[in-house]
Amino acid sequence: MSIAFLCPGQGSQQPGMLHRLPDHPQVQKTMNDAEDLLKKDVFSLDTEKEFQSTTAVQISLFLWSIAMYRVFRAEGVKPDMAAGHSVGAFSAAVIVEALSFKEALKLVRKRGKWMEEEHPSGYGMGVVTGLSYNQLKRLLKEHDSNKTVYIANLNADDQFTISGSQTALDVFLKSASNEGARKAELLNVTVPSHCELMRDVTKKMRQALNEISFSRPKIPYAGNAIARAFLDAERIREDLAESISKPVRWNETVHLYYERGARLFVELSPQAVLSDLVNKTFPEARAISVSNGLENCLFLLERYNRKS
Amino acid sequence: MNPIQVQREKTRSWTTRRDAKRKRKDGLSGITDGKVIPTESIVDVLETLIKPGDRVVLEGDNQKQASFLSQALSSVNPEKVKRLHMIMSSVSRPEHLDLFEKNIAERVDFAFSGPQSLRVAQMLEDEKLTIGGIHTYIELYGRLFIDLIPKVALVAADKADSQGNLYTGANTEETPTLVEAAAFRDGIVIAQVNDITKELPRVDIPGSWVDYIVEADKPYQLEPLFTRDPRHISEIQILMAMMTIRGVYEKHKVQSLNHGIGFNTAAIELLLPTFAEKLGLKGEICKHWALNPHPSLIPAIESGWIESIHCFGGEVGMEKYIEARPDVFFTGPDGSLRSNRTLSQLAGQYAVDLFVGSTLQMDRDGNSSTVTSGRLAGFGGAPNMGHDPGGRRHSTPAWLNMINSDDPLARGKKLVVQMVETFQSGNQPVFVESLDAVEVGKEAKLDTAPVMIYGSDVTHLVTEEGIAYLYKTDSMEEKRAAIASVAGVTPIGLERNAKRAEQLRRDGIIALPEDLKIRRTDAKRSLLAAKSVEELVDWSGGLYEPPAKFRSW
């Protein structure tokens, strides 16, 4: 019976999120470290206006997860495995100790910037629920014959995000709605993540990753592009680059960690998107987000540790 | 005449296996001089006794797991112990697959891997393991005595004495079979036990079959797999249960049977003392069972419906209740249940009238599978129960009732009933053009597609729409029409022809609830003999002690 830490990606941001982090020396330290490195007031990043930029969103989410991870470490809690969704993978790489906080933060900033520059406007993402993977693939074949819409995240058996140009997304989401999707709508995301349209960003990121050193991870890291548990620094390096232009196989990741024994999932996030997915899928497991309150998490972790 | 020249192998030794075993055991002289291995030495012992390439059977089915030994095996040095060929009924625990990640083992034969089905599929794809075969329980047990004879058996028991006699009690399950395959062909048998005591309640496995015992650091893992909380039984499931009781059990006088895991069958069990009793069926149907001790059967037992139950395994919380009902259950002189997975599987295959199961997908020919994309799970015992054993000779009213021709050599058939709602949760249709299993089989390069129950074996299909009496159909075309007629608004159901369905109904090949004199509006939860786990406890007079996760009061 193990504990898995989950780090969110875009979509889990909330204006003011950094201001709502708990008052803890480790939070303060993380923000100070970040300010030294970014040479700017990090608490100015989490406004609604700043969040128009994916860079601000990605940095804020990364800092949020790492600050909370450090709080847990200071309180004596260690995970047995870690996984991150999209940019959350960089947080996970820090948690498994494959990548240093400083290097990771610099990479996250680059990631956001490069993604923005690649498609400054006219592109985005949508969400489709209530269809199976096969049904969605069939719909794409029928209604997107030019192949301009891509499956970007496989979040649950019946929940997916798609990427593409605004116009292509609009057309396809309408068809999905007509063909029985429970929900088919645009997301408030300005970049077409996790698809071919990001191939060049993958190339740039691979180059950047090759210039820094990785350590052998202490605990498993879950790949985004290939849903495997990696204990090998090179596989993590490759995944952090490759996953920018490949679908995130999150559903498999969570199943994989469940099968590897995770029964308590702690989401280091201002929202509870990932933990809701776990709770919906696995009645035998327990998932909680730090957004439910640090005290609640610590209480659960303590009770859990005593039990196992 | 040319006499055949027989060249006797004068130099050949006929005791190589026995000698090898002795030599391995000699290696343990520094650790133990008897049968008892100190708990903390278990990893050393495994590294000494197990050699590279050994065939190792590790106990673990869907309920009971030799969890201490599996953890110890996954902690051995892969330089010393490697290339193992694992035989496991069920690949269930994370460390079962860690064995392959760590290169301790490389090949596996199994029957079920539901709890690790994604990892099995991934590791097969990554060439981290090879699969010998995905078996049914009985097949796998059979092969332990033919061409998969184990060098080492790692098993679990409740208690042992210092002579190595084992008490496996209610959870005897597959232990005697695994031990027998190793013990009588010079394999080494190691049993983890929860306690070593002076006196055993009874001996389930004699000490002379056992080489070593080791006290585990904590009791072996045991899952309450067969407990279904009546709270979650829906009115559609009650309707289907009513139809099955009338349209199958009563119609064919089904006296002996097996139920799979699920809420559909739990509903049947809970309708016996109410709905079926009112129909005057007590003593006519459902008397003899090959079944785990389902708590949902308590009201039927208490109402005098049940004459006998033989069990594959135990069920957590049912121990005291069973001890108090030895007229119904198989119990030892000590009072506790004796289960036996091999024998109950055989009984369920050959000696019962009927099996009821469920599935996630069924194609238009009635083939069914619970396999989903990207997972490799196997089916454990369902294919044993869910087929017609062609070699059967003895007859019963239900078996004879399946004869559908004037052929003088005609024989009966086992009733294989599939009970499904036309849509699964998440709005996925159960009736599909093609089973996911076909694709999964191709992806995993299996020799045959992983079908759970073949359409050719299914005699009855029950859905919320009605019953299809598939054994009565005399062509594939008619069978497909019958399946489509009860398949609702799924893609297969939409192929139905209304006129044809009406004809099938007149011919008695399909029956709607009203044909069975069942009003849909009568299918109410108030019909259930117990509507919650708490009420099951009441029925048992407080003897049933449900595990914590089922206690909501």
pLDDT tens per residue, range B388-431: 999 999 999 999 999 999 999 999 999 999 999 999 877 789 99
A130 reaches B (C-beta below 8 A): yes
Q: How confident is the model at residue B374 (pLDDT cuts 50, 70, 90)?
A: confident
List the one residue out of B412, B390, B399, B290 whose CA is nearest residue B346: B290
Task: Find the mean pLDDT for residues B505-511.
Answer: 98
- Separation in Å, CA of B99 to nearest CA in chain A: 12
Cβ-nearest to A256 among B119, B373, B428: B119
Q: What is the pLDDT averaged over residues B18-37?
A: 95
Give how far the C-alpha of residue A215 lies from the chain's centroid of Cα atoms, to the nearest Å: 21
Q: Which two tokens stand for residue A296?
A: 């609640």
**Closest-CA residue to B199 (of B240, B243, B163, B150):** B163
Whether residue A158 lies within 8 A of chain B, CB to CB, comes out as yes
Strand (E) or helix (H) holding B256: strand B256-259
Q: What is the mean pLDDT of residues B465-485?
A: 97
Nearest to A260 among B94, B426, B428 (CB): B94
CA distance A256 to chain B (A): 7
Q: Is A6 on the interface with B (CB under 8 A)?
A: no
| Cα separation values, A151 from A136, A240, A245, B1, Å | 9, 18, 11, 79
Q: Distance between CA A68 and CA A271 in Å, rounded?
A: 13
Q: Evaluate if residue A307 carries a pLDDT over 80.
A: no
Instruction: Check CB contact under 8 Å for B118 and A228.
Output: no
Q: Which of B543, B95, B60, B19 is nearest to B321 (CA)?
A: B543
Q: Check B373 against A252: CB less than 8 A apart.
A: no
**Angle, helices A133-143/A166-178, rounded to nearest 10 degrees:** 120
Q: Which residues contact B304 (CB under 8 A, 6 or more apart)?
A: B282
Q: Indicate the pLDDT class of residue B8, thresholds 50, 70 and 90.
A: low
Task: Please tell me the predicted confidence (pLDDT) of residue B150.
Answer: 98
In this prediction, residue A304 carries a pLDDT of 78
Mutate to test the interface with A, among B90, B93, B95, B118 (most CBs of A within 10 A): B118
Min Cα–Cα distance to chain A from B396, Å: 42
User: Pick from B226, B191, B222, B142: which is nearest to B35 by CA?
Assistant: B191
> Chain A: residue nearest B94 by CA?
A260
Given CB atoms, is B425 within the 8 Å cutoff of chain A? no
Residues of chain A contacting B122 with CB distance shorter than 8 Å: 227-228, 256
Of A91, A194, A243, A289, the catalytic one is: A194
Option in A133, A157, A256 nearest B118 (CB) = A256
Give the containing element (helix H, strand E) for B158.
Answer: strand B152-160
Instruction: Give me the mean pLDDT over the B493-501 stretch.
Output: 94
B429-451 as b/e, with b when 16 or more CB fall inside 10 Å? bbbbeebbbbebbeebebeebbb
- Do residues B493 and B431 lie in contact, with contact meaning Cβ atoms separated by under 8 Å? yes
- Give the DSSP H/E element, type plus range, for residue B182: helix B175-183
Find how far residue A66's CA is from the centre of its chain: 13
- Identify whether the C-beta of residue B514 lies closer than 8 Å to the C-beta of residue B246: no
* Beta-bridge mates of residue B354: B257, B415
In which band, very low, low, confident or very high, does the pLDDT at A302 lie, cut at 50, 70 and 90?
A: confident
Contact flag A261-B116 (C-beta cutoff 8 Å): no
CA angle B230, B234, B239 (to 5 degrees): 110
The pair of three-digit structure tokens given for residue B130, joined into one six-digit string: 């090879």
pLDDT reported for residue A305: 72
Q: Considering chain A, what percentage of its residues have pLDDT values greater than 70? A: 99
Give the A:B interface size as CB pairs under 8 Å: 27
ipTM over 0.90: yes
At residue B400, what is the residue type? L
pLDDT for the residue numbered B553: 57
Which pLDDT band holds residue A145 (cuts at 50, 70, 90)?
confident
Encode pLDDT of B289-338 as tens digits.
999 999 999 999 999 999 999 999 999 999 999 999 999 999 999 999 99
Cross-chain CB nearest to A255 (options B94, B118, B126)? B118
CB contact under 8 A, B122 and A256: yes
State whether A259 and B427 contact (CB < 8 Å): no
Per CB-CB distance under 8 Å, the chain A contacts of B427 are 130
**Residue B252 to residue A74: CA distance in whole angstroms:** 68
A-chain CB neighbours of B426 within 8 Å are 132, 157-158
CB B56 within 8 A of CB B83: no
Residues contacting B22, CB < 8 A, separation 6+:
none
For residue B91, which of B124, B125, B61 has the smallest C-alpha distance?
A: B61
Token pair for B437: 């299993």
Q: Where are the beta strands (DSSP E) in B47-95?
A: 55-58, 64-65, 84-90
A chain contacts of residue B119, beta-carbon cutoff 8 Å: 256, 259-260
Residue B159: the pLDDT is: 98
Please say if the pLDDT value at position B5 is more than 80: no
DSSP classification of residue B220 = P
Cβ within 8 Å of B, A 272-301: none
Quote the pTM value: 0.93
Judge: A259–B118 Cβ closer than 8 Å, yes or no: yes
Q: Is A86 a catalytic residue?
A: yes
Residue of chain B nearest A228, judged by CA positions: B122
- Residue B43 CB coordination number (10 Å): 16
B181, HSE (Cβ side, Cα atoms, 13 Å): 27
**In chain A, residues 225-264 whose CB comes closer than 8 Å to chain B:** 227-228, 252, 255-256, 259-261
SS3 B496: coil
> Known catalytic residue: A177?
no
Task: Identify the closest residue of chain B to A227 by CA–CA distance.
Answer: B122
pLDDT tens digit sequence for A117-137: 999 889 999 999 999 898 899
Query: How large a percentage of chain B has pLDDT more than 90?
Result: 91
B507 phi, psi to nearest 5 deg: -80, 0
Give the CA radius of gyration of chain B. Answer: 25
Q: Environment class of residue B133 by beta-carbon count within 10 Å: exposed (0-12), middle (13-18) or buried (19+)?
A: middle
Contact across the interface for A227 and B122, Cβ inside 8 Å: yes
Residues of B in contact with A132 (CB under 8 A): 426, 428
Task: Please tell me the predicted confidence (pLDDT) of residue B4.
Answer: 62
| Residue A306: pLDDT over 80 | no
Closest chain A CA to residue B97: A260
Please state the φ and ψ torsions of residue B103, each to the nearest 5 degrees. 65, 25
Question: Among the options A60, A65, A86, A243, which is catalytic?
Answer: A86
Q: What mean pLDDT, rounded, does chain A reach?
A: 94
Handedness of CA B446, B449, B453, B454 (dihedral sign): negative
Is residue B38 very low, low, confident or very high in pLDDT (cuts 50, 70, 90)?
very high
Tokens of A285: 């497991």
The whole-number average pLDDT for the span B370-375 is 86
Chain A from 195 to 214: CB within 8 A of any B CB: none
Record the tokens describing residue A91, joined without a space: 């947080």
What DSSP state is assigned to residue B430? S
- Asked if A307 reaches chain B (Cβ–Cβ under 8 Å), the answer is no
B94 interface with A at CB cutoff 8 Å: yes
Q: How far is A116 from chain B (nearest CA, A)?
A: 34
Q: What is the mean pLDDT of chain B?
A: 95
> Do B410 and B424 meet the contact criterion of CB atoms below 8 Å apart?
no
